[in-house]
């Protein structure tokens, strides 16, 4: 049901000019888009883990995650992506300066706050214009450790596939509760 309401909200969001939207509207739409990305990606990961094991799930993050983010970006008119300070694929997951600052803040805050609740938003002026920016932390869950855990916990086949597919991989060594990265939403405003 969440998917349908998120799509309905996104369609309503598109119909309203960006300059006419309140911060509350932009925040609600950003939260919905972020939740939709996480929900779709989690569903695909779980399906592939069951069907083909961790090696199959790696393909989901490599191939399907960018497609899901791209589809949601086109639907919403915002840029929606996943970023991390420790990227697996530097071409797709490297944060810009604003995102780096927010991610570093999430890392600090995760020590004393519930990592599931970490989010940040603001309207910023950049050389290209004004944007409403939103980020929602992605805390490491037990499922994530299959491919993002410590070297001694990763299965040999997983290590081999990661080494092959991601020669510059820095996204290993995590433990539950750490911040893996964040969903980022960037929408132009007037």
Per-domain residue ranges of the chain: 2-189
Question: Nearest 10 degrees: CA dihedral of 93, 94, 97, 99?
Answer: 20
Q: In this predicted model, what pLDDT tens digit does every residue of 15-73 receive, in sequence order?
A: 444 555 899 999 999 999 999 999 999 999 999 999 988 888 898 888 999 999 999 99
DSSP, res 140: P
- The three-class DSSP label of residue 170 is coil
Rounded to whole angstroms, how far apart are CA atoms 75 and 56?
27
**Rounded percentage of the chain residues whose pLDDT exceeds 70:** 89
Please state the pTM of the whole predicted model: 0.87
Longest dimension (CA), the chain: 53
């Amino acid at each position: 049901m969440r998917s349908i309401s998120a799509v309905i909200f996104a369609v309503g969001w598109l119909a309203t000019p960006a300059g006419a939207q309140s911060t509350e509207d932009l925040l609600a739409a950003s939260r919905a888009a972020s939740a939709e990305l996480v929900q779709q990606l989690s569903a695909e990961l779980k399906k592939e883990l069951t069907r083909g094991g961790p090696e199959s799930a790696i393909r989901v993050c490599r191939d399907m995650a960018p497609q899901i983010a791209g589809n949601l970006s086109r639907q919403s008119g915002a840029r929606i992506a996943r970023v991390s300070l420790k990227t697996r694929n530097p071409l797709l997951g490297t944060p810009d300066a604003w995102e780096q600052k927010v991610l570093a803040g999430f890392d600090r805050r995760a020590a004393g706050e519930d990592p599931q609740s970490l989010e940040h938003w603001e309207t910023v002026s950049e050389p290209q214009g004004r944007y409403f920016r939103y980020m929602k932390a992605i805390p490491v869950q037990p499922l994530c450790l299959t491919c993002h855990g410590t070297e001694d916990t990763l299965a040999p086949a997983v290590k081999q596939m990661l080494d092959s597919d991601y020669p510059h991989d820095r996204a290993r060594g995590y433990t539950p509760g750490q911040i893996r990265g964040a969903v980022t939403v960037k929408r132009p405003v007037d």
